Structure 1
Amino acid sequence: MHARAFRALSHPRRMRLFRLLAEQPQAGESIHSLIGLSRIPEASFRHHLREMELAGLIKRQRKGPTVRVIVTPQALQAAMETVRLLLRHRSHKATASVRPGPAAFPRTTEHSPRHCRPPAGS
């Protein structure tokens, strides 16, 4: 489900709609008002809404003649947790790949290791 949700949010118009609904839940009180606020042509708007619904990011609720659109909290939480894990993994990977400084490799009194020197008596 996460891949489908991220794929749905990868489109700029769907991301704009999702942010609008997440930041201003009252915007989803009516599809008609949401279309006006989003400034997306109606045919395109309905397509993007359907993609977001299939991804589990939003759901529609009919209340009489009015259709409400709300962000699905579970999808939002799951997406946030995935991002958090990715960032944690990336951060851990970045710190593990840092090379130790010169202090980690003490200097020896010899200039070259034994296996690099010519054999004695040559």
Structure 2
Amino acid sequence: MSKSELPVIQADAVCCSPMVREPLDEPAAQDLARMFKALADPVRLRLLSLIASHEGGEACVCDLTGPFDVSQPTISHHLKVLREAGLVGSERRGTWVYYWVLPAALGKLSSLLDIPAQVTA
């Protein structure tokens, strides 16, 4: 493939190159591994999904405890792991803490796993 046939990618469209284009450097690999490790737990994956699909794009911790057979402190621990991994943001409002998914973090994960059409063909 010549350089004239390479697709043009806008620099601000994606933060990371997919693994099939270039190898990850160590800091990027550590950052992404922390996110994937957080998502490797079924409770945390479900929590992220509940938060992302909640009406208005954010959920109160009080709305997140019902669907699980674990205690509220366990839910709080899982939310802390998601927050420390950079997958969700949070804000205390009075007694409750509200959570929302950070789109940039999901974009990093998504762009890493994106397979360009040239590779699949």
Alignment equivalent of 2:79, drawn from 29, 49, 52:
49
* Residue 30 (structure 1) aligned with residue 57 (structure 2): no
| Higher helix fraction (1 or 2) | 1
Write the distance in 2 (CA, Å) between the matches of 1:26 and 1:55.
22
Gaps of 5+ in 2: 1-30
Offset, 1:29: 3.2
Residue number in structure 2 paired with 1:81: 111
Q: Is residue 28–residue 34 contact of structure 1 (8 Å, CA) maintained in 2?
A: no
Q: From the superposition, tell whether residues 47 and 53 of structure 1 become closer, same or farther in structure 2 (CA, over 3 Å).
A: same
Q: Deviations over 1:31-83 (max 9, x none)?
A: 11221244532121111111111100011112233311111111111111112
* Count of residues paired in the alignment: 91
Alignment equivalent of 1:5, drawn from 10, 35, 46:
35
Q: Structure 1 length as normaliser, TM-score?
A: 0.63
* Paired AA for residue 69 in structure 1: Y
* Paired AA for residue 91 in structure 2: Q
Gaps of 5+ in 1: 96-122
Write the distance in 2 (CA, Å) between the matches of 1:43 and 1:52.
14
Identical counterparts, % of pairs: 29
Write the distance in 2 (CA, Å) between the matches of 1:56 and 1:25.
21
Q: Is residue 57–residue 100 contact of structure 2 (8 Å, CA) maintained in 1?
A: no
Write the distance in 2 (CA, Å) between the matches of 1:38 and 1:25.
19
Q: From the superposition, tell whether residues 13 and 22 of structure 1 become closer, same or farther in structure 2 (CA, over 3 Å).
A: same
Write the distance in 2 (CA, Å) between the matches of 1:55 and 1:39.
23
Q: Structure 2 length as normaliser, TM-score?
A: 0.63
SS of aligned partner of 1:29: strand
| Rg larger in structure | 1
SS of aligned partner of 2:70: coil
Alignment equivalent of 1:65, drawn from 87, 95, 113:
95
